[in-house]
Amino acid sequence: MSRKYKIIFFIIGGSLVLFVVANLLWANLKYRLVTEELPPPAVPVIVETPRQREKMEPDLLLIQTLQIRAPIIYVDEISEDLFQQALQHGVVHFPGTALPGHLGNVYIFGHSSDNLWAKGDYKTVFAVLPEIKIDDLIEISDPEGYKFVYKVKETKVVAPNEVQYLDQRNNEYKLLTLQTSYPVGTAFKRFIVIAELVE
C-alpha cells in the first residue's frame, strides 16, 4: 500500500473514530445537562382494576360444561347450622377464605345430594361436579358482579378430615377450590376441584 493510500486510510479512519467519540461525548453531555434538570419520565404502570372486567349477575358460580349455575352465599361464621341454611339457597363461600379474584384460595362448597325431604332448590347442585375435566373453566362473580374466570388444574377425592385444602397458600396464588360430598348419595368422602385464576 502506498504512502498516499495510508494517509487517506488514516484520515478516513480517524474521522470515523472522531465522529463516533464526538457523538458519545455529546450524548453524555446532553444527558448530564438536560436530565438532571428535568424529572425522570413517568413509567406507565398497567394495573387491572375491577372496572376493566366483564360483569355478570353478582355472587354467581357458573360451570358451563356441566350446566351448573348457583348463587354464592356468604356466611359470617363457621357454623354447621348456618352452612345448612345457606346450602338451601346455593353454594357456600367458606368464611375466612379469599374473595373472588383476590390472592389466596376462594373456597366454595355445595351439595351433591341431600335428603329428599330437605328444603331448598340446590340439594344436588354439585351432583355432576366429579365429571369436570382439567382445563375446564369456572366463572364466579363478586358481590359487585365482576366476573373472574378460573381454569381447573387438579381434582381429587379426599377424606372429610383433610382440611388442608382450605389453606390460603400464603396468599401467593389466586386459587378457587370447590368441594362436594362423594360418592353422590353419601358423605363418606369429599370431591375437590382446584382451579387457578386466568389472568
Q: Where are the domains of the chain?
A: 1-45, 50-197
Q: Which amino acid is at 38?
A: L
How many Cβ atoms are within 10 Å of 79's Cβ, its own excluded?
12
Beta strands 137-141; 68-74: pairing state:
unpaired
Would you state the pLDDT for residue 32? 42
At 55-74, the pLDDT tens digits run 999 999 999 999 999 999 99
Cell numbers linked to 129: 361436579
Greater pLDDT, 57 or 33: 57
Asked whether the predicted pLDDT for residue 141 surpasses 90, the reply is yes
Helical H segments across 42-93, by residue range: 80-87
DSSP 55: B
- Full-model pTM: 0.73
Nearest to 102 by CA among 194, 173, 177: 173
Q: Which secondary-structure segment (H or E) carries 13? A: helix 3-30
Would you state the pLDDT for residue 15? 57
- Mean pLDDT for the chain overall: 83
Angle in degrees, CA 171, 177, 182, rounded to 5? 150
**7: confidence class by pLDDT, cuts 50, 70, 90:** confident
d(CA 199, CA 32): 41
* Percentage of the chain modeled with pLDDT above 70: 77
**34: confidence class by pLDDT, cuts 50, 70, 90:** very low
Give me the phi and psi of 34, to 5 degrees please: -90, -45
Would you state the pLDDT for residue 21? 38
**143: confidence class by pLDDT, cuts 50, 70, 90:** very high
Q: Which secondary-structure segment (H or E) carries 29? A: helix 3-30
User: Selecting from 3.30.1490.20, 3.40.50.620, 2.60.40.10, 2.40.260.10, what CATH number does the domain 50-197 have?
Assistant: 2.40.260.10
SS3 114: coil
Cell numbers linked to 65: 360444561
Asked whether the predicted pLDDT for residue 190 surpasses 70, the reply is yes
Poorest-pLDDT segment among 41-50, 125-134, 167-176, 180-189: 41-50
